Structure 1
Amino acid sequence: MYDIIVCAIDGSELSNKALKQALALAAKTGGKITAVTVTEPSVIVSPGAEMMMIDTSEIIANLDAAKAESAKTTLAEAEALASATGATIAKLHVANSTAADGILHAAKEIKADLIVMGSHGRRGLGRLLLGSQAAEVLSHSDLPVLIVK
């Protein structure tokens, strides 16, 4: 039924709850899980920027590196949570994308049968799933979506 399950994670308690649901479902259906975390593009907005010239490439590179490291940690935590149940998961980091677009892109690329995600997640640098992102995935997905709250 659900052979390939994408589970969107961001390290929050709610996304861990979603992962646990995905793991339970996969155990019953024999499905495989790919944990997906998404990081948004790094942008710098400065009032009056039209009046000055600053090379922001190093700042952007540092932001991207910090987000990649955070994603690596989030995926490692998901892998540990899965291992504790005796399961194995695939891991995927989608960089420079909105959460909804990254989740939908990942699901399409791996030919998923189901998307599992929390109804909302963290804010700030580590944010992935907001209520609006869950609604976006629901409205644009051709796949079934399991929203965990």
Structure 2
Amino acid sequence: MYDNIICAIDGSELGTKALRYALGLAAKTGGKITAITVTDTSVIGSSGPELMMVDTGSILADLDKAKAEAARNILAEADQVAKAAGGAIVGIHITNSTAAEGILHAAKESGADLIVMGSHGRRGLGRLLLGSQAAEVLSHASIPVLIVK
């Protein structure tokens, strides 16, 4: 039924819960799981009328390095969750994208037949309703989406 599952993870408790649901489904259907984590583009902004001259190249490189390290940690933790559940995942870090765009792109590129994700991620601020990235995926996905809360 679900042979190729994309599971969005972000290091949050809800992301881990979504991964556990995906692992349970894959165990029952014999499907494979691709766990993805997405990081936004690094941007530096300045407000006000002041003109500032700053070499942002090294700052942006440091930000990208920190995001890559965080993504490696998130994927390594997901791999441990999968192994503890008797399953396996393929982990992918998608850079320079919003979460929704990265999830939808990964699903299309991999030929996924199901997307599993939390109702809101780290940016959710304790929302009671569907988070903005989950809502975006839900409204634009061409395949079923399982929202875990």
Give the TM-score range, shorter chain.
Answer: over 0.9
Tell me the TM-score normalized by structure 1.
0.93
Alignment root-mean-square deviation, CA: 1.4
Offset from partner CA, 1:33-75 (integer Å, 9 cap, x none): 0000000000011113761221101100100000000000000
Q: Assess, with a 3 A threshold, how the Cα gap between structure 1 residues 50 and 98 changes in structure 2: closer, same or farther.
A: farther
Percent identity, please. Answer: 71
Q: Note if 1:7 corresponds to 2:1.
A: no
Aligned to 1:24: 24
Q: Which amino acid aligns with 1:142?
A: S
Q: Assess, with a 3 A threshold, how the Cα gap between structure 1 residues 48 and 105 changes in structure 2: closer, same or farther.
A: same
Aligned to 2:44: 44
Aligned to 1:59: 59
Question: SS where residue 7 of structure 1 aligns?
Answer: strand
Tell me the TM-score normalized by structure 2.
0.93
Structure 1 runs of 4+ with >2 Å offset: none
Stretches of structure 2 lacking an aligned partner (at least 5 in a row):
125-129
Q: Note if 1:93 corresponds to 2:93.
A: yes
Q: Which amino acid aligns with 2:69?
A: E
Stretches of structure 1 lacking an aligned partner (at least 5 in a row):
125-129
- May I ask how many residue pairs the two structures share in their alignment? 144
Offset from partner CA, 1:101-142 (integer Å, 9 cap, x none): 000011111110000000011139xxxxx8000000000000
